[in-house]
Chain A
Amino acid sequence: MIKKISLTEMRIGETGKIAEIQGGQGMVLRLETLGVRTGKEIKKLSSQLMRGPILLQIGNTQVGIGFGIARKVLVEINIE
């Protein structure tokens, strides 16, 4: 079964595919520059306490994303 959740709800170590970015054009463009865009496979590497930033692996890059943005990035994950 495929479920759509936000980056902040993903568990550490979980992989998924970016399905939707709920933000304006400016944010979408900004995220794109570091490879965060719909269709990309990602892996969540870590998250910080108290709504801190989230670290993602996208291809060969690691990207740190603030909690506020991460909440607006929706990811499709596979649950058995």
Chain B
Amino acid sequence: MKILLIGNPNVGKSVVFNRLTGVDVICSNYPGTTVEFTKGKMRIQGKRAEVIDVPGTYTLDPTSKAEEVATKMLCEGDIVINVIDATNLERSLNLTLQLLKQKVPMLVALNLWDETKHTGISIDIKKLEEILGVPCVPTCAISGEGIKQLVQKISGARISSYEYEEGNRWYEIGKIIDKVEKITHRHHTFLERLGDASVMPITGIPIAILILYTVFKIIRFIGEGLIGYVFEPIFEKLWAPLILKLSGLMDAQGWLHNILIGKLIDGKIDFVESLGLLTTGLFVPIAMVLPYVFAFYLVLSFLEDSGYLPRLAILVDTVMHKVGLHGLAIIPMMLGFGCNVPAALSTRIMETRRERFISATLMAIAVPCMAQIAMIVGLVGKHGAKGLSIIFGTLFIVWVVLGILFNRFLKGESPEIFVEIPAYRIPYFKGLLKKVWIRIKWFLREAVPWVLVGVFIVNVLYAFRIIEFVGQFTSPVITKVLGLPSEAVGALIIGFLRKDVAVGMLAPLGLTLKQLIIASVVLTMYFPCVATFTTMAKELGLIDMLKSAGIMVISALAAGGLLNLIL
């Protein structure tokens, strides 16, 4: 048996899904968090059932790719749980009535029920059930209230006999609402006032700057703190002596020693430069990258759950139009700073192919992921803030210039933003931590193995002198255009696998600050890592992906070459 969760965006379908199946999915407070369907299993009265979390849709006539996915899924379900926003009955019922016509057994979960109380709404569930002819259950998925009742009523799902003229749908909805809903007057809450202030240009722009500045400060504080006080001491004081002993047992030589521990530098382990699986292979992902990834996701998750992101989208809309996008494209850009893979997926919230191409390409070229940022900060930050500001400033300029070029030369227009602005919510602490944990788990599972593979391959490349060999015939470009030593080509090869390892490979080369800056910019831009590449190819299609990749290579050479001339 297949159960579909269908409803408007941002009504909490993913939270309900998580409650029903125990499968961890990312839930946020903005429309379009779920862009692909997720499957999970549950038991109803001893029988197994498959539950599918369908991306949100406002209507069964899709207007974006995420909505298209939703409509296609519909014919596969045996039972539909229509999750609706109890504080937004009218809009929700629009989809509900369309679903009723599909003649699938259905029930309705009135989610966000707790919010109806302090928004002065009261809904007569009995009457609604009577009118619609399907079971209706009030739920508050985030705290788990009502979920048990929902599960009990799944077997009671019915095909409704409700009939109406298609052209009269809104009239019908109005009639239903008159019968079941009562609204009492209430005062504006503090959160609502804050909500208004954060979208007024006069107060909104300073608030946005303040928020982004705070975000930056918090990430640095947590990231640096964890590295300096937790992870580095653990590695230096506990792990290093152990590894040195192991090295002594192996007489500090042999191929196994090289692969596991790597080169000893002045008889000591250098966790960045040694390049062994047990040294660099563990140190880079855990002690250099993870603290920043954790810090970033903690802050991002807070922003997501608060409901601020759609407001930021409104504020930056005008700027985004200059690069052929609209305000919502801020979401893939923000997600990209965490990891480019989910960011590439999230471009589905954009309506047209052109926008998806522009947003995915700009994101992949100019937005470095947290793993790479952490490594750049670790490597270049030693020389002071100037190098870092040149790197990130250059990437920002690239983003703007390329975006303007795309907007001018790519056919088509950028549609206007049209988005629901959800109410501000104080993030539910447990939910927030869970989300951070899902993302950290994902990082540990997806990233750490690849870092190890990367470090292993680096050793193979050095052992077989492949880097030297490739370096010889790429040196015209690498040395002449970019001003880097020919060994830097090794980083470009590994960058396809993992960009953090690639940045780490620059460490032993003894580069000057100027070379570090150029190498960091080129490594960010020249090509996406393999995980991003496959995701983008799936999203854009292979031909557009190749176009996008061509743009990346050319613009990376141009930006690197220019920096080499200017600096």
Q: Are A60 and B119 in contact (CB under 8 A)?
A: yes
Query: For chains A and B in complex, what number of residue pairs have CB atoms within 8 angstroms?
Result: 93
Beyond A48-B318, A60-B119, A69-B418, 10 extra complex contacts between A and B, CB < 8 Å = A34-B418, A53-B314, A53-B317, A53-B417, A60-B87, A61-B421, A62-B422, A62-B423, A64-B419, A65-B416
Question: Which applies to chain B's interface (DSSP): helix, strand, loop or mixed?
Answer: mixed
CA distance A37 to B373 in the complex (A): 46
- B199 at interface by CB-CB < 8 Å: yes
Interface residue tally on B, bucketed by range: 35 or more
Mask of A1-43 contacts with B, CB within 8 angstroms, 1/0? 0000000000000000000000000000111111101000000
Neighbouring B residues of A46 by C-beta, 8 Å: 196, 199-201, 204
Q: Are B318 and A64 in contact (CB under 8 A)?
A: no
Q: Are A63 and B419 in contact (CB under 8 A)?
A: yes
Given known A32-B170, A51-B318, contact A60–B418 (CB-CB < 8 A): no
Q: Are A30 and B310 in contact (CB under 8 A)?
A: no
Q: Are A55 and B199 in contact (CB under 8 A)?
A: yes
- B63 at interface by CB-CB < 8 Å: yes
Interface size for A (C-beta < 8 A) is: 29
The interface of chain A, by Cβ under 8 A from chain B, is 29-35, 37, 45-53, 55, 59-69
- B273 at interface by CB-CB < 8 Å: no
CB distance from B355 to the nearest CB of A (A): 13
Q: Are A29 and B59 in contact (CB under 8 A)?
A: yes
Q: List 13 A-B contacts (CB under 8 A).
A: A31-B418, A33-B58, A33-B63, A34-B418, A46-B200, A46-B201, A48-B201, A50-B318, A55-B421, A61-B88, A62-B421, A63-B421, A64-B199
Given known A33-B58, A48-B315, A53-B317, contact A66–B94 (CB-CB < 8 A): no
CA distance A62 to B198 in the complex (A): 13
Closest to B121 in A: A60
Q: Are A45 and B196 in contact (CB under 8 A)?
A: yes
Q: Are B87 and A64 in contact (CB under 8 A)?
A: no
Closest to B328 in A: A64
CA distance A49 to B421 in the complex (A): 19
Q: Are B91 and A33 in contact (CB under 8 A)?
A: yes
Closest to A26 in B: B63
Neighbouring A residues of B121 by C-beta, 8 Å: 60
Q: Are A33 and B199 in contact (CB under 8 A)?
A: no
**A30 interface neighbour in B88, B201, B418, Cβ under 8 Å:** B418
- B172 at interface by CB-CB < 8 Å: no
CB distance from B341 to the nearest CB of A (A): 28
Residue in A50, A51, A59, A60 with the greatest tally of chain B CB atoms within 10 Å: A60
